[in-house]
Amino acid sequence: MKFNPLVSIVIPVFNGANYLREAIDSALAQTYENVEVLVINDGSNDDGATEEIALSYGEKIRYFHKKNGGVAAALNMGISEMRGEYFSWLSHDDLYSPEKIEKQINHLSNLKDKQDIVFSGWIIINEVGREINRILPLKRHEREKLESPLFPLINGMISGCNLLIHKNHFERVGKFNEDLPTTQDFDLWFRMMRGKSCRICEGVLHKTRIHNLQGSRVHSKAHVEENDVLWIKIMSDLSEEEKIQVSGSVQNFYSDVFMHLLKYSVCKKALKYARQYCKANRLSVFVYRALRLTKNKIKDWM
């Protein structure tokens, strides 16, 4: 029998008239036909512009309107309302390639465990859709590492919209934490992927848009504070065995986290936390070499 489960594409949106139509169109254009598209309007206050776009699709989508509560609350509503066996998140300002769901379902069909979490590569675009960068996990790491618990998450290979997730994972670890306005996704992936392997599906299957109206930029101070708490929690909660599994050794784990944060974030407290471990364990030469290379970025927290 052909593997043909229903997939629920959930699109949370708040004041998203700028990009919502493109996102819905990309969801409806999937070459895999057994999908449903849920649009969750998280209390938009744009004089009905977001709702008008969603309602224009009629029965092609399932539309829900709720009181504003943040993206985590909107996603949780989508999870509660979904009829599918698998969950796929599409941000209102992102785009799926037409074969996103089909390729990931085909990949799952060849796996023994149909509840494995599947992820893929993606493209980063700007506000007008111009390509900025490509994230190609298999070009950066070996498949064996990418399919090791937490490795892809810790090393920046996971984007919420590049995942395909079986509904049982929400029953196992819970849903998105609605108290985390900007890091609710990473927090959930950490809980989901801890002790569980993910499976990398080849291909660049979605585009994620970077623009000034994103929650992480609009609420940049809160985003940094949440990330500090999150990364310190990861470093403190993981056992030595888990750190070794991710990076080969505890020392490598802290240096890997340090370099990741140094390159991709401004999390001063988490950087200091990792730096203190490196210094205490004679990794100071490595750390200070990194500091010299990026001194302008971090001069204010040394």
Q: How far apart are CA 235 and CA 16, in angstroms?
A: 35
What is the overall mean pLDDT for the chain? 90
**Which distant-in-sequence residues (6+ apart) come within 8 Å of 206 by Cβ?**
90, 94, 95, 96, 97, 100, 120, 122, 123, 159, 161, 162
Token pair, residue 142, equals 């070996």
Split at pLDDT 50, 70, 90, the class of 266 is confident
pLDDT, tens only, 114-133: 999 999 999 999 999 999 99
Q: How far apart are CA 257 and CA 267, in angstroms?
A: 11
Split at pLDDT 50, 70, 90, the class of 259 is confident
Spatial contact of 152 and 158, defined as CB atoms under 8 Å apart = yes
Token pair, residue 223, equals 């985003």
Provide the pLDDT for residue 287: 53
Q: 269 by DSSP, 3-state: which?
A: helix
Kindly state the helix (H) or strand (E) to which residue 106 belongs, with its residue range: helix 100-109
Q: How far apart are CA 56 and CA 75, in angstroms?
A: 22
pLDDT, tens only, 200-216: 999 999 999 987 765 54
Token pair, residue 245, equals 């599994």
Q: How far apart are CA 80 and CA 192, in angstroms?
A: 18
Q: 149 by DSSP, 3-state: which?
A: coil
pLDDT at 150 over 70: yes
Provide the pLDDT for residue 299: 42
Higher pLDDT, 267 or 170: 170
pLDDT, tens only, 45-102: 999 999 999 999 999 999 999 999 999 999 999 999 999 999 999 999 999 999 999 9
Split at pLDDT 50, 70, 90, the class of 300 is very low
Provide the pLDDT for residue 218: 45
Provide the pLDDT for residue 279: 73
- Give the mean model confidence (pLDDT) for residues 251-257: 87
**E strands, the chain, where?**
7-13, 35-42, 62-66, 86-89, 95-96, 117-125, 131-135, 163-166, 198-209
Provide the pLDDT for residue 252: 87
Provide the pLDDT for residue 174: 98
Spatial contact of 285 and 257, defined as CB atoms under 8 Å apart = no
Provide the pLDDT for residue 215: 52
> Which CATH number is correct for 7-217, 1.20.1060.10, 3.90.550.10, 3.40.50.720, 3.20.20.105?
3.90.550.10
Looking at residue 59, what DSSP letter applies?
A: G
Strands 117-125 and 131-135, bridge-based pairing: antiparallel
pLDDT at 33 over 60: yes
Residue with structure tokens 């977001």?
A: 50
Domain with CATH 3.90.550.10 in the chain: 7-217
* pTM, entire model: 0.90
